[in-house]
């Protein structure tokens, strides 16, 4: 690395230092305290039984089928919703980027679902799929009780997530499209490349870092899904997610030790996913350079 590169890196660290310190104060202490609590038997219903148990809470969580089923459900919702959001979000980003007439109106209308509070969106979709008051069954000519069966409940949950957060994905991808030089697109068009060839060989390779960041943000957000599942099924029909397991353990059962172990394990899952994305993103960034 050149001297100029080292100087730029030092400057970057100095400029980032206030934000890093603030994040450390806000996040490091709660995480450390949760980890400390996870090493104790600490049930608020039985305060006299509090005591140090070491890794026993983690062993209890990891040996429970509830944890593994919730992890499977969470990853299923995450994979399905993020994959569809990536495709639809990219299409929306292209539409917003290429719109020449009514561009502001197009962008505003596409971003409306993301502005709606998650609980409100979840309730709206729950009522839409209600077998007695909803319009979906009438529209499709069905008599389906969507939220009382596991796979149809998953379908509603995933559809709600896609509708709510695809605009966020589109917004991130739109920022990436805006950074691509129009001269490259014009040069490819002059060379006879079709629209598909320009997309495949010019736009997508240059969009790899942006796509990586967008998928990272949405994946980490989807792994922590709580509101939609809680409003629509309360975890019933075997649709419980990791956040719901933590909520039931910490808030409902008031078991701080076991609940903190669940929260710490969720942090580990999120950290592993982030590490995997950042590793891939780093490779893509080096390739793009």
The residue whose two tokens read 């129009």 is 182
Nearest residue to 259 via CA among 274, 247, 271, 270? 247
Task: Please indicate whether residue 241 or residue 280 has the higher confidence score (pLDDT).
Answer: 241
pLDDT, one tens digit per residue, over 173-201 is: 998 888 888 888 888 888 787 888 888 88
Q: Which residues contact 88 (CB under 8 A, 6 or more apart)?
A: 162, 166, 169, 170
How does strand 51-52 pair with strand 40-41? antiparallel
Output the pTM of the full model. 0.85
CB distance 126 to 147 below 8 Å:
yes
**Listed range (36-40, 142-146, 150-154) with the worst mean pLDDT:** 142-146
Calpha distance 192→212 (Å, rounded) = 29
Provide the strand spans (E) within the chain: 40-41, 51-52
pLDDT at 160 over 90: yes
Calpha distance 129→206 (Å, rounded) = 40
35: left (phi over 0), alpha (psi -120 to 50) or beta: alpha
Nearest residue to 263 via CA among 31, 54, 26? 31
The residue whose two tokens read 């920022």 is 175
Instruction: Quote the tokens at residue 254.
Output: 């008031």
The domains of the chain, with CATH numbers, are 65-288 (1.10.3720.10)
DSSP character string of 102-130? SHHHHHHHHHHHHHS-HHHHHHHHHHHT-
Neighbours of 83 (CB within 10 A): 12
pLDDT band at 282 (very low <50, low <70, confident <90, very high): low
pLDDT band at 274 (very low <50, low <70, confident <90, very high): confident
């Amino acid at each position: 690395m050149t001297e100029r590169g080292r100087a730029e890196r030092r400057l970057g660290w100095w400029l980032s230092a206030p934000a890093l310190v603030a994040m450390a104060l806000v996040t490091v202490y709660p995480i450390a305290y949760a980890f400390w609590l996870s090493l104790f038997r600490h049930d608020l219903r039985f305060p006299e039984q509090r005591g140090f148990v070491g890794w026993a809470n983690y062993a209890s969580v990891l040996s429970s089928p509830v944890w593994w089923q919730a992890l499977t459900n969470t990853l299923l919702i995450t994979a399905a919703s993020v994959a569809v959001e990536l495709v639809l979000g990219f299409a929306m980003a292209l539409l917003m980027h290429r719109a020449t007439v009514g561009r502001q109106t197009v962008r505003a209308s596409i971003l409306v679902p993301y502005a709606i509070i998650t609980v409100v969106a979840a309730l709206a979709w729950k009522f839409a799929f209600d077998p007695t008051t909803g319009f979906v069954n009438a529209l499709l000519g069905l008599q389906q009780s969507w939220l009382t069966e596991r796979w149809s409940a998953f379908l509603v949950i995933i559809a709600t997530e896609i509708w709510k957060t695809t605009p966020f994905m589109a917004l991130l991808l739109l920022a990436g499209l805006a950074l691509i030089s129009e001269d490259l697109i014009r040069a490819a068009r002059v060379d006879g490349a079709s629209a598909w060839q320009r997309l495949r060989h010019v736009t997508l390779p240059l969009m790899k870092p942006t796509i990586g960041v967008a998928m990272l943000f949405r994946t980490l957000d989807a792994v922590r899904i709580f509101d939609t599942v809680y409003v629509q099924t309360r975890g019933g029909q075997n649709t419980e997610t990791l956040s719901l397991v933590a909520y039931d353990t910490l808030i409902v059962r008031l078991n701080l030790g076991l609940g903190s172990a669940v929260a710490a394990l969720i942090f580990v899952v999120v950290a592993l996913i982030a590490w995997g994305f950042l590793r891939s993103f780093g490779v893509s960034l080096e390739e793009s350079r």
